[in-house]
Amino acid sequence: MTLTALAVLGLPFASFAAIALVRPLRQAGRLAGWLSIAAIACAFLGALVVWGSAPGTEALWGWIPGDEEPMVTVGVLLDDLSAAMLVLVTLVSLLVQVYSLAYLADEPAPSLGRYYAYQSLFAFSMLGLVLSPTFVQMFVFWELVGLCSYLLIGYWYDRPSAARAAVKAFWITKLGDVGFILGIVLLWGATGTFEFSELFELARSGQIPLAGLSLTMFLIYLGAVGKSAQFPLHVWLPDAMEGPTPVSALIHAATMVTAGVFMVTRTMPLFELVPGVLTLIAWVGAFTALLAATMACVESDIKRVLAYSTVSQLGYMMAAAGAGASAAAFFHLGTHGVFKALLFLGAGAVIHAVGTNDIFRMGGLFRMLPRTGTVFVIATLALAGVWPFAGFFSKEAVLAGVLHGHLAGPFVLLALTAFLTAFYMFRVVFIAFFGRPHDVHAHPHEAPPLMAVPLWILAGLTVGIGLRFVVHPLEGEHGPSWLAPLSLGLAAAGFVLAWATYQVRVVSAAMLAALFGPIDYMARRRYGLDALYAGLYRAFILGFSRLVGWVDRYLVDGVLNVLSAWTLRGGDVLRRMQSGQPQDYVYGVAFGVLLLFVWAQFWR
């Protein structure tokens, strides 16, 4: 099984290396794409084999030598968690890569080759992260994932906004990563090992010193805050929409943002030692969920609505993880990965067809794009948590987990978010797909087969996963009997409000906005967080730069200027001594010799 897992890991890397190193292949564009797709398809099959064999193995090799045994090991950790992640990552990567071939058909061939090199590297990085048996390996791949997200968000690097968004995503996640690596090192200092299995063993037998562990785990959690876009480091994610739409699907569904949740889930035995940090994670997650949901309600860019909904759903997962229900968190991660990929790819198909991101410039699309509309509505129903779609079950599991963890506050926030989720998603559906067409003369075209097939596969999975849990109800933790009606009722209320506001227009959107005046005002300005960071940047970085600049310009340069001015003036004075007459110099020499004689005669 280890060999299969290594093959799953190695295939995308091989395709990356081939595309990156073989220049004609990269220049060929579509050929590189097909190679990358073939590699990830084989990896997907391998992942299915690994998943089907009920894995539970760990293989370790020494990396950095230590005194007796290696200080740092690398290897492959195969359990249910990593096997399920393998399937999710390879599946979504595969579908996204197939979809990209049509979506980016107009790109020049060398750019397309570059794109597929990044895609393969991204898949490799995420698979390596998922398989990590040690913190060090996880951190290495964690950073690789960050690098790939930077490369892909900035794929259209000649657009200033894309370049800026890529840098922003990179820096903001690095902010969290500083905490992550500090936490890893602190944990190593306390326990002397990086390996998860040893750490869990120590945690189980209570051998990890609890003093300072809260700080350590909080620092490790900071890494997840950056990667999984938790408040207050979520600001990079909406801007990441500057990348091509399939990239957004990949980042939001299978890679990058799930890394944080995966890491918390993976290291749950350690987090369980520090209940305070877990409670914080739950509160931050729930707060993030609600905050992002309110911002999604006022956004008019279809991709940004989805981006905020991703932030919101990540809040759900983190809240569940914080409540100790890591299984529920992971469950939601999986289902969300499927239907969020579907939503993004569907949105991509819409954007491909109409050529704009603005939902208010769409309208009536369902009649023109019935198939795209159908899959988008399916994904919307799943995201809103409507029975019997996949999202319903995972969302209920999350809510049950949070309730079971006796976290009433986060539960209320999450319930409110469930209502808002249904509202903002159906707001998009009603504005973009129903309602009056914006431009009656436009004739948008349905997606080409390469784009449509991934959509249908994901739609089938969204329904199929849901139906599977209708047939075989989820074993394990169940919420109270009123939970399912409550979440369904909230979703229905959101749907009805969106319907009344944007479809039959009995409720005026302006009136709603006025009713929630301050929230509307703040949400439109992203709660001032971007402005706050810009202000902090200006105040601290620019202020500090200005101070350093002053020191350099006036102190350092000043000293040098004074020195050079004195040298000049001194030279000017000494210059006058040079008469140019050799006789004067000889006179000086003779006088000097005379002085020497006198000195030798009388004072020596």
Partner 1 sequence: MAAPGLSAYLVLAALVFAIGLFGVLTRRNAVGILLGIELMLNAVNINLVAFARFEADLAGLIFTLFVIAITVAEVGVGLAIVIAIFRVRRTVDADQLNLLKG
| 70 phi and psi angles, rounded to 5 deg | -55, 140
Find all residues with CB under 8 Å of 554, minimum gap 6, and list them.
Answer: none
Least Å distance, CB 566 to partner 1, is 18
Q: Which of 61, 579, 600, 603 forms a contact with partner 1 (CB under 8 A)? A: 579
Give yes or no for residue 601 binding partner 1 (CB under 8 A).
no
CA dihedral of residues 375, 380, 383, 385 (deg, nearest 10): -110
User: Using CB under 8 A, which of the segments 48-56, 317-325, 337-345, 572-580 binds partner 1?
Assistant: 572-580
Q: Which of 586, 595, 596, 598 forms a contact with partner 1 (CB under 8 A)? A: 586
Give yes or no for residue 472 binding partner 1 (CB under 8 A).
no
Q: Whose Cβ is closer to partner 1: residue 206's or residue 580's?
A: 580
Total number of residues shown for the chain: 604
Q: Which of 138, 121, 122 is closest to 130 using CA atoms?
A: 138
Q: Which of 578, 600, 601, 603 forms a contact with partner 1 (CB under 8 A)? A: 578
Please say whether the beta carbons of 554 and 325 come within 8 A.
no
Q: Whose Cβ is closer to partner 1: residue 440's or residue 577's?
A: 577
Q: Which of 587, 592, 596, 599 forms a contact with partner 1 (CB under 8 A)? A: 587
User: Using CB under 8 A, which of the segments 40-48, 447-455, 511-519, 584-592 binds partner 1?
Assistant: 584-592
Q: Which amino acid is at 406?
A: H
Least Å distance, CB 590 to partner 1, is 6
User: Using CB under 8 A, which of the segments 71-79, 161-169, 528-536, 581-589 binds partner 1?
Assistant: 581-589
Q: Which of 24, 440, 582, 601 forms a contact with partner 1 (CB under 8 A)? A: 582
Q: Whose Cβ is closer to partner 1: residue 471's or residue 573's?
A: 573
Residue 3 neighbours by CB distance under 10 Å: 11
Find all residues with CB under 8 Å of 406, minimum gap 6, and list them.
Answer: none
Q: Whose Cβ is closer to partner 1: residue 205's or residue 578's?
A: 578
Give yes or no for residue 583 binding partner 1 (CB under 8 A).
yes
Q: What is the DSSP string of 271-319?
A: HTT-HHHHHHHHHHHHHHHHHHHHHHHH--BHHHHHHHHHHHHHHHHHH
Q: Whose Cβ is closer to partner 1: residue 360's or residue 587's?
A: 587
Least Å distance, CB 554 to partner 1, is 34
Q: Which of 475, 577, 602, 604 forms a contact with partner 1 (CB under 8 A)? A: 577
User: CA–CA distance from 169 to each of 196, 222, 378 (Å)?
Assistant: 28, 15, 30
Question: Considering CB under 8 A, how many residues would be counted as binding partner 1?
Answer: 13
Q: Which of 580, 600, 601, 604 forms a contact with partner 1 (CB under 8 A)? A: 580
Least Å distance, CB 600 to partner 1, is 16
102-134 residues labelled b (16+ CB within 10 A) or e (exposed): bbbeebeeeebbbbbbbbbbbbbbbbbbbbbbb
User: What is the spatial distance between Cα 397 and Cα 395, in angstroms, rounded to a whole number?
Assistant: 5
Q: Which of 24, 575, 600, 601 forms a contact with partner 1 (CB under 8 A)? A: 575
Please say whether the beta carbons of 490 and 418 come within 8 A.
yes
Q: Which of 205, 207, 481, 581 forms a contact with partner 1 (CB under 8 A)? A: 581
- Which residues in this chain contact partner 1 in the complex, by CB under 8 A? 574-583, 586-587, 590
